């Protein structure tokens, strides 16, 4: 199957595209886009890969679903398009970032500026039907993104994985923490952060300290 994706990822994941589950997944997604409003726009489904090639990938931030409101999702986990109000989880991310490294809360919630520096903003499920959170779960996306994580784990070394919340942490059980730097915290959603474990987690400074220790450029958060 010819998948329109950044070439280095296309090569790394080429065997995955030949599997029956992926063929079934793509047929399902095509029908959903044909019959319903689905986010993100079709050309941005693989945006996380297109903005962060394999060799550039230094950090992985795992999300769950794309945002399901109009104009929000842009194919990057936790990110929204320019001009869109910041969802509560993203605002909490920015608050922690400000407290951790002093970065002012930005006017835009578009995280493409992180992606182009080597942050893979990966959702477990890459599409969603409008207004229906979780509507494309258990259709095959999770199997695909598990394969992505496994490939990064196997083929690279010294990647920072930021696992926020129970879902991301369970999905990240395949990561070799001796080979990579794994950071865990509660999810930045208002409900989860209310109980502690998000604010004060200092993942952004820890990630940069680790990158610097390996002689790599820090992320300009």
Catalytic residue selected from 2, 50, 55, 65:
65
Identify whether 65 is a catalytic site residue: yes
* Beta bridge pairs of residue 123: 63
Categorise residue 118: left if φ over 0, alpha if ψ from -120 to 50, beta otherwise. Answer: left
Give the CA-trace dihedral at 48, 50, 56, 58, to 10 degrees: 0
> CB neighbours of 91 closer than 8 A, spacing ≥ 6?
105
For tokens 């990579």, the residue is 180
Sequential DSSP letters for 28-55: HHHHHHHHS-EES-GGGTTHHHHTS-GG
Active-site residues: which are they? 65
């Amino acid at each position: 199957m010819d998948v329109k994706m950044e070439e280095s990822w296309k090569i790394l994941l080429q065997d995955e595209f030949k599997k029956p589950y992926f063929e079934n997944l793509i047929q399902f997604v095509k029908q959903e886009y044909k019959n319903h409003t689905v986010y993100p726009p079709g050309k941005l489904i693989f945006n996380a890969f297109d903005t962060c090639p394999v060799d550039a990938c230094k950090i992985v931030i795992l999300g769950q679903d794309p945002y399901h409101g109009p104009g929000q999702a842009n194919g990057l986990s936790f990110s929204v398009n320019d001009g869109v109000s910041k969802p509560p989880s993203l605002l909490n991310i920015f608050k922690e970032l400000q407290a951790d490294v002093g970065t002012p809360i930005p006017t835009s919630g578009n995280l493409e500026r992180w992606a182009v520096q080597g942050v893979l903003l990966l959702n477990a499920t890459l599409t969603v039907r409008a207004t229906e959170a979780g509507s494309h779960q258990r259709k095959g996306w999770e199997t695909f993104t598990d394969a992505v994580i496994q490939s990064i784990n196997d083929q690279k070394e010294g990647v920072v994985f930021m696992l926020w919340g129970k879902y991301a942490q369970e999905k990240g059980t395949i990561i070799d923490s001796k080979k990579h730097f794994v950071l865990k915290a509660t999810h930045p959603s208002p409900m989860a952060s209310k109980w502690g474990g998000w604010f004060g987690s200092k993942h952004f400074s820890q990630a940069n300290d680790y990158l610097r220790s390996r002689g790599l450029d820090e992320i300009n958060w």
